[in-house]
Each structure stands twice: as structure tokens, then as C-alpha cells.
Amino acid sequence: MSHDDRIDEATLTVLMDARQPFAYLALGPTIELGRRQGLEVNWLPASVSPLRPPPEIEGNDRSVAHRRNRSRMIAREIAVYAEAQGLTLREYYREGGWSALAQGILFVREQAPVALEAFLQATFAAYWAVELDPEDVGAVAKFVGGHGADAAAFVEWASNDGPAVADRIADSLRTRGLSGAPAYLVAGEYFQGRQHQPMIEWLLEGQEGPGPI
Amino acid sequence: MSAAPLDFATLRGDARLAVYLDLKSPYAYLAIEPTRDMARNLGVDIDWRPFTLDIPSYLGSATLKKGGKKVERSERTPQQWSGVKYAYMDARRYANLTGRTVRGTVKIWDSSQAGVMFLWAKRHGPDAFDRVIDAAYPPFWNRDLDIDDPAVLECVLEEAGVPTAGFRDYLAGAGRVEHDEINAVAFASGVYGVPTYLVGDEAWFGREHLPRVAWILGGRQGPAPGVANLRFADRAPA
């Protein structure tokens, strides 16, 4: 398996971190975008900082109050837009890594690419239902096996080459200055956030007509 | 100044749509046109309100050298710089689509005087307000507007055809009090950035929420939309 990042040859690369609520909110619309455009999305795992809960400190300090306002509005945004998509997200502020799931994405991407989007949807849903520990290779292997890839081979790979491959992809993203999730690379441009999908489609369609603003 | 928090519907008041903006926010600049177009399509008046961002309190502070290319002084972390650089890059590419210029500011302005100028413009009616923001934003984002100078603000008002007699007194007195009160109440109620939209009993930060704002104003017809930076100019009126 080559496990290249394929960024240079892909028409659309999408960076995802299962632990980022906005990545989950972006997943379904991004899959639909890829289908509308008839292209194979180059999905890659990326690690971003976890969502920060509202500060518990009370008081009038402007900086603390700003973070509190921001955190509360973000939480409302997640809840409202998740409901609109019929998604369930619990415990927004969980911490911890997701190395096993990130490797699972890379593994399924190579072994069963046609099932990768279904794998992303299933694992992200399980993570946000607090039913999947993304650091648990065995738990991720069940999803790998359920999506057309070899679960036992994944377990072996994750205990040998997998971590180094994931690190290499992460290094590649760092070197390119790509640090967001959800984030999109298209036509040489980098976009953070699902709100850019109209612009991404406009670029993919050859910038016909007035651009979205 | 501290204030008692209000729920968003109370904060919105009688207006169907209230929008907070700040001259020194490129995202507020970008939001003006689609916000106007969206509201016009729906036949909704906009209650624009100044909200002066206190950027150093959440994004660190920095000053650029004359010419605006090198950093003279910075209290920002690398992560904060990365966020600021991305934000400007992002703002520029959208601005370029409509022929607008967004040059990074050479310092973090105290734009509260410009906020008071917006309030002054509002006193002269919505058309006057529109003309003033159209006269202020482009030169400010081309680094051609010293908003620390009241005489410069008067020139903006004059260019927009808004009377200036009494503006200086308003700037130093009643206008300042009104501005500070609007800001204090908004911040205490949960507003923290611009553009922020108050619609129904909801508040949304960022123009990417305009599809939802329009959906609410339009009576929540059909499925709730997701976030998107959209063009509203060519959409048929509701």
C-alpha cells in the first residue's frame, strides 16, 4: 500500500478530524458535494485542537467573558445544525487522541476506497454517540471489517507500520501549512470550514457566473 | 462598563433583524452586501448596530511597521498569528470576487469613534446609514482612513451627504454613551464578534449563517439550511 497523501493529484482533498464537531457536520454535505461533482474526494485525517468548553471562571474579565460567549455560541451552533441534519452529538468537549481511527481511515482508503465514505459516516456517528473509543484499535477494526477491508490485517498494520504512515501524512500536512478540519484543498486554494462549499463548487465548475460571496 | 444580560429576542427588540458590525472587521465588510441583498429580497429592514471589537483581549495585539509589511511589535502566539493570517487571506479572496480591497491594518484600531459615527448616521435614517458605511469601509480597508481623527470621520459623513453640525459634541458625549451602552449590553448578552445577526430568539456570528437567518425571516419554510457563504443578489424576492 502506498499511503501517499495524494494532495498534488487530487481534485479535492478534504481534511477531517472525527473529534471536531464541525467536521462531523461537514461530512454529509461534503460527501454530497463530491457526488454532485462526480469526483472521488481525497479524504485525509488531520488533527486539530479539541473544542474548548466555556471557561468556568465567573467575573467580568473581558478575555474570559469573550471565550465564554464564543464557546456558548459554538455549542448552540453545533446543536442547531446537528438537529437540522438529524445528527446526534454528545459530549462536545471530550479530549484524547484518535490515532486508531485516523489509521483506520488511511487503511480503508487503501483497501476498500469505495467504502471509505460509509466508513467515515459510521465511525463519526459512533464517536459522537460516545460508542467508539477512537484510540482503540480493536474497536476501530470492527468498523474496518464491516466496510470491506481486512480487520485482522488492520490490527497488524496498526501495531507495525500504521503509526509511522499516519505520522508521515501528518508531517506532510504540517509542512504544507494545513492545520484545520474540516478543511478543503481545491484548485490550489485552502479553505477551513464547511461554509466554503459554495465557493468550492464554484471553483470545481470552472468559476462560471458570479462567485459566491 | 458592565450590563445585565438579555435573551437574544429582547436584545433584538422591535427589529426583525438586528446586525452588529465594526468597521475594523473584514468579515463585517464582506457581510454587508449579502446581508443587504438577503434582507431586500425578504422585504426586511435591518437594524445595524455598532459593536466595537476588543481584539487584543482574545487575539493578542500587534503593530506593523510603516508600510505595513513587517511586524514592529507583537504579543500574539504563533497560533494566533496563523489564525489572523488565514482570516485575511480568506477575506481577500472573497473580497476579490467583488472587486474590493482588503489590506491588513497596520495596527489594531480603536474603532469606537467610527461606531459612534454609525450611530450618528442612523439618526439620519437608513439611507444615510447605508451611504456612510459605503463611504467608510472601502477607504478604511485600503488604509486610507484614519478613524482616530474626528475630522476624517466628518469628511466621511460629508461625503455621504449626512449633516455634521453637532457631530463633534455627539462623538464626545451622547453618542459615546449610547455606543458604550449598546456594546456593554450586547457583550453581556453573548455577542462577541461581527457580523452577529439577531433573528427570532437566535444569535449567529458570521455571514455563513445568512441562509439560516433568511430561513427564519421567511417563516421557516422547507428544511433548515446549513451554513454557507452565499450570494443573495440574484435570488428572487420571497
Domain holding A110: CATH number?
A: 3.40.30.10
CB atoms closer than 10 angstroms to residue A57: 10
Residues of A in contact with B215 (CB under 8 A): none
The verdict on residue A26 lying in a domain is yes
Residue B203 has pLDDT above 50, yes or no: yes
pLDDT, mean over chain B: 92
The verdict on residue A2 lying in a domain is no
Query: A80 and B97 in contact by Cβ < 8 A?
Result: no
pLDDT at residue B238, rounded to an integer: 46
pLDDT band at B74 (very low <50, low <70, confident <90, very high): low
Residues B28-34, mean pLDDT to the nearest whole number:
97
> In terms of DSSP bridges, do strands B17-21 and B46-50 run parallel, antiparallel, or are they unpaired?
parallel
The verdict on residue A41 lying in a domain is yes
The verdict on residue A18 lying in a domain is yes
- pLDDT, one tens digit for every residue, chain A (213 residues): 668 999 999 999 999 999 999 999 999 999 999 999 999 999 999 999 889 888 887 666 888 999 999 999 999 999 999 999 999 999 999 999 999 999 999 999 999 999 999 999 999 999 999 999 999 999 999 999 999 999 999 999 999 999 999 999 999 999 998 989 999 999 999 999 999 999 999 999 999 999 898
As beta bridge partners, residue A16 has: A45
Tell me phi and psi for residue A6, to 5 degrees.
60, 20
Letter for the amino acid at A72?
R
A residues 62..101 contacting B (CB < 8 A)? 62-63, 65-67, 69-70, 72-73, 76-77, 80-81, 83-85
Query: A197 and B228 in contact by Cβ < 8 A?
Result: yes
The verdict on residue A39 lying in a domain is yes
Query: Total domain count for chain A?
Result: 1
Find the domain containing A132 and state its range. 12-50+94-204
Closest-approach residue (CA) in chain A for B190? A69
Q: Render pLDDT for B137-180 as a digit per residue (tens, 0 to 9).
A: 999 999 999 999 999 999 999 999 999 999 999 999 999 999 99
Chain centroid, CA B26 distance in Å = 8
| Best residue of B90, B227, B232 to probe chain A, by most A CBs closer than 10 Å | B227
Residues B72-79, mean pLDDT to the nearest whole number:
68
Of B161 and B105, the structure prediction assigns the larger pLDDT to: B161
- Which sign, positive or negative, has the C-alpha torsion B37, B42, B45, B50? negative
Length of chain A: 213
pLDDT band at B81 (very low <50, low <70, confident <90, very high): confident
The verdict on residue A85 lying in a domain is no
The residue whose grid cell reads 454530497 is: A32
The fold of B8-55+110-217 is Glutaredoxin (3.40.30)
The verdict on residue A83 lying in a domain is no
CB atoms closer than 10 angstroms to residue A136: 13
CB atoms closer than 10 angstroms to residue B163: 12
Q: What is the dihedral angle through the alpha carbons of B222, B223, B224, B227, rounded to the nearest 10 degrees?
A: -110
The verdict on residue A21 lying in a domain is yes
